[in-house]
């Protein structure tokens, strides 16, 4: 299958006065054309850092300190700012930031702010540009009359649709969505999820769907990548993670058992004692070992590599290789 | 003492809407009807869940119960006593009995206060404990109750030295220190990481059972509500549309709005990636300044008939043991089967 993105040994550190915070620490993964990769993890696990790093624009004081991000055969970490703007960002890979719907300019109509972005990137005359905007606004399920309106006249769900349209209208192959449904009500959440699924099919797009919510991920992601403390704990297909057999990494399975279920009466929900480690000073060995219920001696000293234990199923856990 | 600790009788909270010059001159008034006639009874010792989307009035209802604002109309009865309007002295006593846990554990604590200050401040305000030492002893006890042990380790810490979960424990300890009867918890776990969320809910339940407390749990999250609460009321645009025992309400939802909410919830099970979610609801929530006539849900309801679109809102009526619904067509909809799924 064609890969739209290949990430190898990516490291992103935040250089703070107390020392480097290893927010994304040596991770490798890929995305196939037309698939949605769900990136899931708790706050501080590096999922948003990963998203911005993929555009090669980490938030200061963050820096990409190593690795490769390969899009269309080019390592985008080697490109300069100008080339990135012109050829990569929003052209090949775009992002819907967390809370982006609140960053629309309040003084501009929707059409004006969309035009501004579009005409910066494309030499279109006004008529063509308007046509293209109209097409994308319709594509995300809104009618033309929203174009004349100001952001405050739109609901949260409508603004989120506009932001998604803006991520799409330069026709990228890959769209990163960072918590696109978190601030929305459940009914609107379901509508946005449906929209993303529809767009994926219609345009043969690839998505990275970043969220903290395992339940949402089950609805949207073909494959799921679970992050813990800057590392990948597990990557598996939707069936491998949510199916009968269940996930392999103890972090994933415990997190899943901590997720409340609506249609299943649970007597006692699980929880993981303790809290994630400080990434200024991550623990030796497996980063999860301090909270792991099935920790072994080896886990405290040696870091488990991410290994393919069955087809398309990668796990970083000493226990899981032992079971082979 | 009766087994009803709180009763709201047709409680309303209307906020005046901003008027333009024409409306100002003509004397026309408009209201934002945040809470528009809520009646409910909360039983002693239960966890009562109040659920709804943003803007449905659930937080305003919590604030009315906390007496952080005065209702525009209706009656609030606490322990058999009418507390709708209280003078300053009785309000002080009332607030000892009714406490609140806020949503954001990062914003609800003074950053310059150590845990011991956070906990002893309410004691000083209410004049409990003769000496500082006695108050600090009570503070240590409260920390033990919420499992921040050993308390000596935590008493000297500032809020920033605690994790989100620990802060929410401290916030719970702060409410417990006055030994209240009733606690309003407004989205207490929505900002806490999933892996520790259940831990906080367990702790809250343990405290509730050991101290015989009653909770009002306000949330938008149906899944935690089913897990945590005994009874649930679903609010829509300032009114309760359905109320019942948690399991009944979710497994046998009757109101079309509740059904829509339930079908919109994501569940962590496989095999749903390639199908779209069917949510049986139309359009978006109208503004509370402009509540539709008739059943307030009718513009979004897939089952609305002409009789739903005029007159008064349907009454909340008991249809099964303890299960209340405000919909005139719930029976017909039930007979139509599960086509909404």
Contact B10, B40 (CB under 8 A): no
Judged by CB atoms closer than 8 Å, whether chains meet at A213 and B220 is answered as no
Average pLDDT over residues A151-157: 88
Check residue A124 and give its pLDDT. Answer: 86
Give the pLDDT of residue B103. Answer: 83
pLDDT at residue A260 in the model: 87
Chain B residue nearest residue A269, CA to CA: B198
Chain A residue with CA closest to B222: the answer is: A262
DSSP B191: T
Measured distance CA(A314)–CA(B66) in Å, rounded = 51
CA nearest to A270 within chain B: B198
Measured in whole angstroms, how far is the alpha carbon of residue A136 from the centre of its chain?
A: 22
Q: What distance lies between CA B10 and its chain's CA centroid?
A: 17
B44 neighbors B1 (Cβ within 8 angstroms): yes
Q: Are strands B98-101 and B182-186 parallel, antiparallel or unpaired?
A: parallel
Quick check: A38 pLDDT over 50?
yes
The class (CATH top level) of B4-267+276-335 is alpha beta
- Residue B270 has its nearest CB partner, among A238, A262, A276, at A238
The encoded tokens of residue B4 equal 């009803």
* CB of B268 less than 8 A from some CB of A: yes
Q: Do B279 and A191 touch (CB under 8 A)?
A: yes
C-beta separation of B289 from B16 below 8 A: no
Q: For every one of its 341 residues, what pLDDT tens digit does chain B have, with 9 covering 90 and above? A: 568 999 999 999 999 888 888 888 888 788 889 999 999 999 999 999 999 988 888 989 999 999 999 999 999 999 989 999 988 889 989 998 999 988 888 888 888 999 999 999 999 998 888 889 999 999 999 998 888 888 888 999 998 888 888 888 899 999 989 989 999 999 888 888 888 888 889 989 999 999 899 999 999 999 999 999 999 999 999 999 999 999 999 999 999 999 999 999 988 888 888 888 888 888 888 888 888 999 999 999 998 888 899 888 898 999 988 999 999 988 888 887 655 44
Mutate which of B105, B270, B301 to test chain A, going by most A C-beta atoms within 10 A?
B270
The sign one gets for the Cα dihedral B250, B255, B260, B261 is negative
> Chain A partners of B285 at a C-beta cutoff of 8 Å?
185
For A314, the enclosing helix (H) or strand (E) is strand A313-315
How many A×B Cβ pairs under 8 Å? Answer: 132
Question: What pLDDT was estimated at residue B340?
Answer: 46
**B286: closest chain A residue by CA:** A155
B26 in A contact zone (CB under 8 Å): no
- Does residue A262 have a pLDDT over 60? yes
Dihedral through CA A54, CA A56, CA A59, CA A60, nearest 10? 140
Which of A36, A187, A197 comes nearest B260 by C-beta?
A187
Alpha carbon distance A291, A42 (integer Å): 14
Look over chain A and give the mean of its residue pLDDT values, rounded to a whole number. 90
Q: Which residue of A has its CA nearest to B257?
A: A187
Residues in B closer than 8 angstroms to A142, CB to CB, are: none
Closest-CA residue of chain A to B247: A265
The complex scores an ipTM of 0.85
How far apart (Å, rounded) are the C-alpha atoms in residues A97 and A167? 10
Give yes or no for a contact between A68 and A8, defined as CB atoms under 8 angstroms apart: yes
Residues of A in contact with B247 (CB under 8 A): 265
Tokens standing for residue B49: 């869940």
Q: Which among B268, B284, B290, B297 is the top mutation candidate for probing chain A, defined by the most A β-carbons within 10 Å of its own β-carbon?
A: B268
pLDDT over 80 at A36, yes or no: yes
Q: Would you call the peptide bond into B150 cis, given omega within 30 degrees of 0 as the criterion?
A: yes
Q: Do A217 and B268 touch (CB under 8 A)?
A: yes
Distance CA B105, CA B99 (A): 15
Query: Are B106 and B161 within 8 A, CB to CB?
Result: no
pLDDT at A98: 85
Chain A residues lying within 8 Å of B250, measured CB to CB: 262-263
Specify whether the CB–CB gap between B218 and B187 falls below 8 A.
Answer: yes
| B281–chain A nearest CA distance, Å | 8
Kindly report which listed range (A156-160, A161-165, A181-185) carries the lowest average pLDDT score: A181-185
| Interchain proximity A243–B270, CB inside 8 Å | yes
Q: Does B50 touch chain A (CB under 8 A)?
A: no
Asked whether the beta carbons of B340 and B302 are under 8 A apart, the reply is yes
Q: Looking at beta carbons, which residues of chain A come within 8 Å of B227?
A: 260, 266, 269
| Chain segment A268-295, per-residue pLDDT in tens | 888 888 888 888 888 999 999 999 999 9
Cβ-count burial of A47 within 10 angstroms (0-12 exposed, 13-18 middle, 19+ buried)?
buried
Query: What is d(CA A206, CA A200) in angstroms, rounded to the nearest whole number?
Result: 7
Residues of B in contact with A238 (CB under 8 A): 270-271, 273
Per-residue pLDDT tens for A67-99?
999 998 899 999 999 999 888 898 899 999 888
**Which letter does DSSP use for residue A50 in this model?**
H
Residues of B in contact with A187 (CB under 8 A): 53, 260-261, 264, 279, 281
The alpha-carbon gap from A206 to the nearest alpha carbon of chain B, in Å, equals 14
Q: Which of residues 179-218 of B touch A (CB under 8 A)?
A: 193-199, 201-202
Confidence of residue A12 (pLDDT cuts 50, 70, 90): very high
Residue A233, min C-alpha distance to chain B (Å): 15
């Amino acid at each position: 299958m064609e890969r739209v993105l290949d990430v190898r040994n990516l490291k992103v550190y935040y250089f703070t006065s107390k020392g480097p915070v290893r927010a994304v620490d040596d991770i490798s993964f890929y995305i196939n054309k037309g698939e949605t990769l769900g990136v899931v993890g708790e706050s501080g696990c590096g999922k948003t850092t990963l998203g911005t790093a993929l555009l090669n624009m980490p938030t200061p004081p963050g820096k990409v300190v190593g690795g490769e991000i390969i899009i269309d055969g080019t390592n985008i970490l080697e490109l300069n700012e100008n080339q990135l703007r012109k050829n990569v960002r929003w052209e090949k890979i775009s992002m819907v930031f967390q809370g982006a719907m609140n960053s629309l300019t309040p003084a501009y109509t929707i059409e004006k702010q969309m035009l501004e972005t579009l005409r910066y990137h494309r030499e279109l005359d006004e008529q063509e540009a308007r046509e293209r905007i109209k097409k994308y606004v319709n594509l995300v399920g809104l009618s033309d009359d929203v174009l004349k309106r100001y952001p405050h006249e739109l609901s949260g769900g409508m603004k989120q649709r506009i932001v998604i349209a803006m991520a799409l209208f330069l026709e990228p192959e890959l769209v990163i969505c960072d918590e696109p449904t978190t601030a929305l009500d459940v009914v609107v959440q379901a509508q946005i999820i449906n929209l993303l699924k529809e767009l994926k099919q219609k345009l043969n797009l690839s998505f990275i769907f970043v969220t903290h919510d395992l339940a949402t991920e089950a609805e949207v992601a073909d494959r799921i990548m679970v992050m813990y403390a800057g590392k990948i704990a597990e990557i598996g297909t939707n069936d491998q993670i949510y199916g009968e057999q269940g996930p392999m990494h103890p972090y994933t399975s415990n997190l899943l058992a901590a997720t409340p279920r609506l249609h299943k009466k649970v007597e006692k929900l699980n929880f993981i004692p303790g809290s994630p480690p400080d990434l200024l000073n991550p623990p030796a060995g497996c980063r999860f070992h301090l909270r792991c219920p099935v920790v072994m001696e080896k886990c405290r000293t040696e870091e488990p590599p991410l290994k393919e234990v069955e087809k398309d199923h990668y796990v970083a856990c000493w226990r899981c290789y032992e079971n082979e | 003492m009766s087994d009803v600790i709180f009763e709201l009788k047709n409680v309303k909270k209307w906020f005046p809407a901003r008027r333009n010059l024409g409306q100002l001159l003509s004397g026309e008034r408009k209201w934002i009807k945040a809470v528009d006639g809520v009646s409910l009874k909360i039983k002693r010792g239960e966890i009562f869940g109040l659920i709804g989307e943003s803007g449905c009035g659930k937080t305003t209802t919590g604030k009315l119960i906390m007496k952080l604002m005065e209702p525009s109309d209706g009656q609030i009865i606490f322990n058999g006593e009418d507390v709708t309007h209280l003078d300053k002295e009785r309000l002080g006593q009332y607030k000892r009995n009714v406490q609140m846990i806020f949503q954001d554990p990062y914003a609800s604590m003074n950053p310059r206060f150590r845990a011991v200050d956070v906990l002893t401040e309410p004691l000083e305000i209410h004049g409990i404990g003769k000496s500082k030492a006695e108050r600090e002893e009570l503070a240590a006890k409260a920390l033990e109750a919420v499992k921040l042990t050993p308390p000596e380790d935590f008493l000297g810490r500032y809020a920033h030295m605690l994790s989100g979960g620990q802060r929410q424990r401290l916030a719970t300890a702060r409410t417990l220190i006055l030994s209240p009867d009733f606690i309003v918890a407004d989205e207490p776990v929505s900002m806490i990481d999933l892996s520790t969320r259940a831990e906080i809910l367990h702790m809250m339940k343990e405290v509730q059972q050991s101290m015989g407390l009653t909770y009002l749990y306000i949330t938008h999250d149906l899944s935690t509500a089913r897990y945590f609460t005994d009874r649930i009321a679903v609010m829509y645009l300032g009114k309760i549309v359905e109320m019942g025992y948690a399991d009944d309400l979710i497994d046998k939802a009757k109101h079309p709005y509740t059904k829509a909410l339930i079908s919109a919830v994501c569940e962590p099970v496989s095999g749903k990636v390639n199908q779209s979610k069917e949510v049986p609801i139309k359009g978006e929530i109208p503004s509370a300044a402009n509540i539709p006539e008739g059943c307030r849900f009718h513009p979004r309801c897939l089952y609305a008939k002409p009789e739903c679109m005029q007159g008064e809102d349907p009454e909340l009526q008991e249809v099964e043991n303890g299960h209340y619904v405000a919909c005139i067509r719930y029976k017909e909809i039930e007979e139509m089967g599960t086509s909404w799924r």
